[in-house]
């Protein structure tokens, strides 16, 4: 087993990483930051998502383990004081994994270039100082003409992040569905949108055709300035993010812990 550790630079995290490295070396674990079998993320959900993007070209062969040193997250199963138990479980596991859907983003430029991205949570299309105008297609059929601040397309696990703050539904990851939520849409006698989140089946796709030569696209919060894009296509990827199943808590327990509290599973 080859392991690497991704982490933030907070004091509590660095202390946990130092202890974790010592423990893994004592167990004879091989460290390999280039081609790991397991990526241990120490920090929070943001740290783990950053680690995913660092190894997204190896997503089919890499498993992730999350250790959180701050607030409870959806992707971080272990507390910093549970590192000994985590290492024992890691060395005993037979490699069984829990898989979550990923979002595939394909952008076609006016010059005919195609650019691909993967997202764990979501991707949004926005204009900063002007209204975004865009045609929205579902399965290549025109669904609506959108005007507003922007649009957000999320995975089921991403439904608990930015999409939820926009009024989207929380979706269990086994559904493998895409959700699109509007960001401050304009609805009046002239312009009209559905003005509600939509959820589409795993074999369907959403295409956004922006009527602007310059806008901003985000992928898991990372900003990309886009010029002269012809269209952006969103669909569920045939790839998935993989977590070691040991200690991987049930989805609705995570939702309860994060948004309601007083969980009996704490």
- How far is Cα of residue 8 from the mean position of the Cα atoms in its chain? 18
Count of Cβ atoms closer than 10 Å to residue 98 Cβ = 18
Per the residue annotation, which of 45, 77, 220, 244 is the catalytic one?
45
**54 labelled as ligand-binding?**
no
**160 labelled as ligand-binding?**
yes
C-alpha pair distances (Å), 73 with each of 66, 90, 184, 242? 9, 20, 27, 16
Six token digits for residue 132: 């975004």
**6 labelled as ligand-binding?**
no
- How far is Cα of residue 64 from the mean position of the Cα atoms in its chain? 13
Residue the block writes with tokens 């423990």 = 23
**147 labelled as ligand-binding?**
yes
**61 labelled as ligand-binding?**
no
**165 labelled as ligand-binding?**
yes
Picking from 181, 133, 183, the residue whose alpha carbon sits closest to that of residue 160 is: 181
Clarify whether 45 is annotated catalytic.
yes
Give the pairing of strands 2-7 and 38-43.
parallel
Torsion angle, alpha carbons of 70, 258, 37, 26, to 10 = 40
**121 labelled as ligand-binding?**
yes
CA distance 67 to 120: 18
Six token digits for residue 75: 């992707």
CA distance 139 to 153: 15
Count of Cβ atoms closer than 10 Å to residue 130 Cβ = 10
**51 labelled as ligand-binding?**
no
Helix (H, G, I), strand (E, B) or coil at 114: strand
**211 labelled as ligand-binding?**
no
**164 labelled as ligand-binding?**
yes
Please state the φ and ψ torsions of residue 220, each to the nearest 5 degrees. 50, 40
**161 labelled as ligand-binding?**
yes
Helix (H, G, I), strand (E, B) or coil at 149: strand
**Residue list for the binding site:** 45-46, 121-122, 147, 149, 160-165, 184
**Residue list for the binding site for NAD(+):** 45-46, 121-122, 147, 149, 160-165, 184
Q: Please give the positions annotated as active site.
A: 45
């Amino acid at each position: 087993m080859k392991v690497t550790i991704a982490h933030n630079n907070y004091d509590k995290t660095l202390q946990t990483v130092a202890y974790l490295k010592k423990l893994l070396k004592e167990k004879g674990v091989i460290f390999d930051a280039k081609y790991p079998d397991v990526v241990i993320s120490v920090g929070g959900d943001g740290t783990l998502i950053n680690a995913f993007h660092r190894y997204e070209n190896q997503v089919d062969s890499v498993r992730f383990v999350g250790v959180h040193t701050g607030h409870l997250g959806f992707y971080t199963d272990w507390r910093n004081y549970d590192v000994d138990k985590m290492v024992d479980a890691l060395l005993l596991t037979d490699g069984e994994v829990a898989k979550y859907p990923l979002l595939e983003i394909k952008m076609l430029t006016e010059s005919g270039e195609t650019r691909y991205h993967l997202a764990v949570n979501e991707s949004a299309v926005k204009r900063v100082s002007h209204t975004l105008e865009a045609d929205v297609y579902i399965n290549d059929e025109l669904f609506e003409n959108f005007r507003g601040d922007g649009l957000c397309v999320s995975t089921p696990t991403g439904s608990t992040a930015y999409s939820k703050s926009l009024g989207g539904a929380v979706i269990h990851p086994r559904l493998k569905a895409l959700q699109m939520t509007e960001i401050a849409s304009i609805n009046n006698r002239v312009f009209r949108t559905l003005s509600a989140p939509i959820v589409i089946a795993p074999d369907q796709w959403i295409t956004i055709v922006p009527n602007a030569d310059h806008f901003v696209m985000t992928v898991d919060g990372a900003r990309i300035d886009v010029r002269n894009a012809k269209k952006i296509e969103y669909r569920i990827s045939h790839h998935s993010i993989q977590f070691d199943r040991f200690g991987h808590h049930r989805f609705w327990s995570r939702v309860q812990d994060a948004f309601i509290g007083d969980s009996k599973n704490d």
